[in-house]
Amino acid sequence: MAQVSLRNVSKVFPGGVEAVKDVSLGVEDKEFLVILGPSGCGKSTTLRVIAGLEEATNGDVFIADKRVNDIPPKDRDIAMVFQNYALYPHMNVYNNMAFGLRLRNYPKPEIDGRVRDAAGILGLAKLLDRKPRELSGGQRQRVAVGRAIVRKPLVFLFDEPLSNLDAKMRMQMRTEIHRLHIRLQSTMIYVTHDQTEAMTLGDRIVVMNEGVMQQVGSPIEIYDKPVNKFVADFIGSPPMNFIEGTVVSKDSKLYFNEKLGKLKVKIADGMTEKLLPSVNKEIIFGIRSEDIYDKLFASNASVDNTVTMACEVVEPMGSEAYLHLSSGKHTLIAKVGAHNNPPVNQDMDFVFDMQKVHFFDKHTGDTII
């Protein structure tokens, strides 16, 4: 059983940078956990602390129920795959994969079996004699993964392994890593700044910002129920639309009024109780691009959820189109069907799905609904 847990882990680098702040986290046996966040948020440092490549300033790291703080990386039974592959340029593919096992004095037939098995899984069987310079980026990354597989570690750690690949190869390798996880049934911890990788690969995602863990949850939980504006903004493409404004009460109903603008929508009855303390206060309204409809294509339009805006730009994406809409004060993006091609710079009616909207505290960014 290869659980990994971090208890109150912090990392302060010499010079005072607090890269990781009091992170506590449990990774289940066989789980695929993704650590997601923007550049500099502390995700690589967290992974390196698990690997033992960095020492935690505070807190404890456990692998398979054993405290490993004082155990060197090579004895932690982990294998790490890096963004830059870190292959030995003078060794062929076979020797790159065999190297770690030779260092550990594995018998030759055992090494040969493991290398050939891994090469089979990764489609490298015909490339075993090539040097890294004779391989494509995707093939090199496969060798780096193969080198991890042959070790049969308790835990795989991936640090942005696909960042150096072009978009198409990235997608292909993403699927391969997914398959590998299903096949190997190992615990995997994967660091990325790419929310698509996080959503598609993770059983659960940890979102980090400025060294602090913001939220842990399944991809759908994180998407549908972000705990704060940072998470709401970071997950989703295009990002969630945010509008500053005020909650007002009229005739026992609540409305959201855009700040200094004309956008006004009625708040759904099910949300009013939680928003009562925010009446007459500034708030941030959030709506995802797929929850804004051209009125012509909306089934639930009413005066309460219809907003007049001008479509300034239409971006056709093939299967869908992004409409850039101006309320006068804010620009919103609506994701609509590809056939929906409104005229530009003319006022038109758009419908908000008010059951799906979010509200955030203006000062803390915390989710209210």
- Told to check if 209 binds ligand ATP by CB under 6 A, we report no
Q: Among the candidate windows 14-22, 106-114, 272-280, 340-348, which touches ligand ATP by CB under 6 A?
A: 14-22
Q: According to CB under 6 A, which one of 33, 34, 42, 234 is a site residue for ligand ATP?
A: 42
Nearest distance from C-beta of residue 163 to ligand ATP, angstroms: 9
Residue 16 engages ligand ATP in binding (rule: CB under 6 A): no
Nearer to ligand ATP, 40 or 342 (CB): 40
Q: Single out the segment in contact with ligand ATP by CB under 6 A; choices: 38-46, 236-244, 322-330, 346-354.
A: 38-46
- Cα torsion through 177, 181, 187, 190, rounded to 10: 20
Residue nearest to ligand ATP (CB): 44
Residues 179-208 that bind ligand ATP (CB under 6 A): 193
SS3 content of the chain, % helix, strand, coil (to 5): 30, 35, 35
Q: Which of 357, 206, 359 is nearest to 277 (CA)?
A: 359
CB 335 within 8 A of CB 315: no
First to last CA, the chain: 38
Radius of gyration for the alpha carbons in the chain, expressed in angstroms and rounded:
25
- Shortest CB 44 distance to ligand ATP, Å: 3
15 binds ligand ATP (CB under 6 A): yes
Taking the complex as a whole, how short is the minimal distance between the CB of residue 193 and ligand ATP, in angstroms? 5
Segment interacting with ligand ATP, rule: CB under 6 A, options 11-19, 73-81, 124-132, 195-203: 11-19
In degrees and rounded to multiples of 5, residue 331 shows phi and psi of: -110, 130
DSSP string for residues in 217-229: E-HHHHHHS-SBH
Q: How far is the CB of 42 from ligand ATP (least distance, A)?
A: 4
- Cβ proximity of 315 and 273 under 8 Å: no
Examine residue 40 and tell whether it contacts ligand ATP (CB under 6 A).
yes
CA distances from 191 to 28, 40, 160, 173, 238 (A): 16, 12, 5, 15, 21
Quick check: bond before 239 cis, omega within 30? no
Among 8, 13, 113, 269, binds ligand ATP (CB under 6 A): 13
Residue 103, H or E segment: helix 93-103
Site for ligand ATP in 43-62 (CB under 6 A): 43-45
| Paired tokens of 70 | 């004082």
Instruction: Find out whether 243 and 334 touch, Cβ atoms under 8 Å.
Output: no
Q: Which is nearer to ligand ATP, 135 or 199 (CB)?
A: 199
The answer to whether 174 contacts ligand ATP (rule: CB under 6 A) is no
Contact stretch for ligand ATP (CB under 6 A) within 41-49, 124-132, 142-150, 302-310: 41-49
61 vs 20: CA distance, rounded Å:
13
- Binding site residues, ligand ATP, CB under 6 A: 13, 15, 17, 19, 37, 39-45, 193
